[in-house]
């Protein structure tokens, strides 16, 4: 999730679902990402989560239903002032009752009055018993709210507080944070664009338990995918085997292991894409023949492997792509950064290439930061920072050049 340079104003409305117990963690994580958080509790929510805890974590008073007519400096008419203060309004968890209230346009509760008065984007996270969620009345209310511009984030499937299993759980906090980052994203200039990203390493198996690979963590590619989604793009991610991919939200994901699998997935998705970003570190070679059983240690001190070349996926895309498709490559270099990257750009018919010196500290494989040179046929730009900041700057540069 991008961390913002200036603090952002999040209005969190908590309603009376048991999942309200997860909200203190959300508040604390929003605060650590430099958000100011105002919290409003419905009457039922007061029974689920302590205003004292929420007030301590947010560093502000918590607004209760009884405060509808109270007045405070800066918030003289609470429902109007809070509605205007917010850059984004979150309803989490949102009960069937509150959803019905909002859909009916009533303004009797502090939460529903804020909802009517705000012009900020609204994110609604329904969480309840599965049968309540599936009830036609709830479905209709949520559909109506969606038609009116509210973003409804579906609950997750799993065990519910009532003892049954079903779709009704409030999503994990990290997913809620992703949605908030999306809603607060200042630019939607990739709206309507389809972006295909490859990320991570490939594993080229020699036998059932050993493989050739590289230290790619997938973070750079995932940052490209996530920031494209923040900017409004539809995103598909083809992800090699990574250990801790983090939150994978807002995109369709295909998991692959080998370069050949990645090759197939990329070519299958190519007609769909407006832009292909090749951030994956693809193995150039695979075992000529994969052993059926684990290779045994032999008496000889050396072992020779016979390898076959993998297809160059980027070059294949470069050869096949339509005029209106954009192909962006990455170059992981250890020397002669610019020259090597430029020659890859020409050879693979890329529209631009992002060169990173993978030996420099805080750069390349595995790190959370990167320092890159974005090279076009007619110019260059340099960016450094967290991988998400770098990725966002790359999209900024591509869009300001009207390449996308």
Binding site for ligand PMT (CB under 6 A): 216-221, 259, 278-282, 284, 310, 312-314, 329-332, 344, 356, 358, 364-366
What is the C-alpha separation between 136 and 194, in angstroms, rounded?
Answer: 33
With contact defined as beta carbons under 8 Å apart, do 55 and 26 qualify? no
Report CA 139 to chain centroid distance, whole Å.
26
For residue 27, the minimal CB distance to ligand PMT (Å) is 30
Rank residues 97 and 217 by Cβ distance to ligand PMT and give the closer one: 217
Strand partners, 252: 236
CA angle, corner 333, sides to 332 and 337, nearest 5?
125
Q: Which residue among the candidates 13, 35, 139, 162 is catalytic per the annotation?
A: 162
Q: List Cβ neighbours of 249 (8 Å cut-off, separation of 6 or more).
A: 175, 178, 179
Strand partners, 106: none
With contact defined as beta carbons under 8 Å apart, do 11 and 89 qualify? yes
For residue 398, the minimal CB distance to ligand PMT (Å) is 15
Q: Is 223 helix (H, G, I), strand (E, B) or coil?
A: helix
Strand partners, 382: 373
For residue 286, the minimal CB distance to ligand PMT (Å) is 10
With contact defined as beta carbons under 8 Å apart, do 197 and 229 qualify? no
Comparing CA positions, the residue from 325, 312, 330, 328 lying closest to residue 219 is 330
Rank residues 17 and 318 by Cβ distance to ligand PMT and give the closer one: 318
Rank residues 68 and 365 by Cβ distance to ligand PMT and give the closer one: 365
Rank residues 18 and 314 by Cβ distance to ligand PMT and give the closer one: 314
For residue 256, the minimal CB distance to ligand PMT (Å) is 13
Residue 94 is a catalytic residue: no
Rank residues 15 and 265 by Cβ distance to ligand PMT and give the closer one: 265
For residue 170, the minimal CB distance to ligand PMT (Å) is 30
Query: Which residues are annotated as catalytic?
Result: 162
């Amino acid at each position: 999730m991008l961390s913002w340079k200036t603090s952002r104003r999040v209005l969190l409305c908590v309603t009376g679902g048991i999942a309200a117990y997860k909200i203190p963690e959300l508040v604390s994580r929003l605060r650590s990402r430099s958000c100011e958080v105002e919290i409003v509790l419905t009457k039922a929510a007061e029974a689920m989560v302590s205003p004292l805890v929420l007030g301590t974590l947010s560093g502000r008073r918590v607004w209760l239903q009884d405060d509808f007519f109270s007045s405070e400096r800066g918030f003289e008419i609470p429902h109007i002032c809070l509605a205007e203060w917010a850059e984004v309004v979150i309803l989490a968890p949102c009960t069937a009752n509150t959803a019905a209230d909002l859909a009916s346009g009533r303004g009797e509760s502090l939460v529903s009055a804020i909802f009517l008065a705000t012009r900020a984007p609204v994110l609604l996270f329904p969480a309840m018993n599965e049968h309540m969620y599936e009830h036609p009345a709830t479905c209709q209310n949520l559909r109506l709210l969606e038609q009116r511009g509210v973003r409804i984030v579906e609950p997750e499937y799993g065990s519910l507080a009532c003892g049954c299993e079903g779709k009704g759980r409030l999503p994990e906090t990290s997913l809620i944070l992703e949605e908030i980052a999306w809603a607060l994203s200042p630019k939607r200039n990739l709206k309507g664009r389809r972006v295909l990203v490859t990320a991570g390493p490939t594993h080229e198996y020699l036998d059932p338990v050993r493989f050739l690979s590289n230290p790619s963590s997938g973070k750079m590619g995932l940052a490209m995918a996530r920031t494209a989604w923040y900017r409004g793009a539809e995103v598909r991610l083809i992800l090699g085997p990574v250990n801790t991919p983090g939150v994978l939200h807002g995109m369709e994901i295909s998991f692959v292991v080998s370069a050949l699998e990645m090759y197939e997935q990329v070519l299958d998705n190519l007609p769909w894409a407006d832009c292909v970003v090749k951030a994956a570190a693809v193995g150039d070679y695979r075992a000529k023949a994969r052993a059926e059983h684990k290779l045994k240690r032999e008496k000889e001190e050396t072992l020779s492997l016979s390898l076959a070349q993998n297809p160059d996926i980027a070059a294949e895309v470069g050869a096949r792509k339509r005029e209106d498709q954009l192909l962006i490559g990455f170059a992981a270099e250890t020397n002669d950064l610019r020259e090597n990257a430029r020659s890859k750009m020409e050879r693979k018919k890329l529209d631009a290439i992002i060169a990173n010196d993978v030996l420099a500290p805080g750069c390349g494989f595995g790190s959370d930061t990167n320092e890159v040179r974005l090279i076009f046929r007619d110019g260059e730009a340099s960016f450094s920072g967290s991988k998400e900041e770098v990725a966002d700057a790359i999209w900024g540069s591509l869009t300001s050049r009207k390449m996308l």
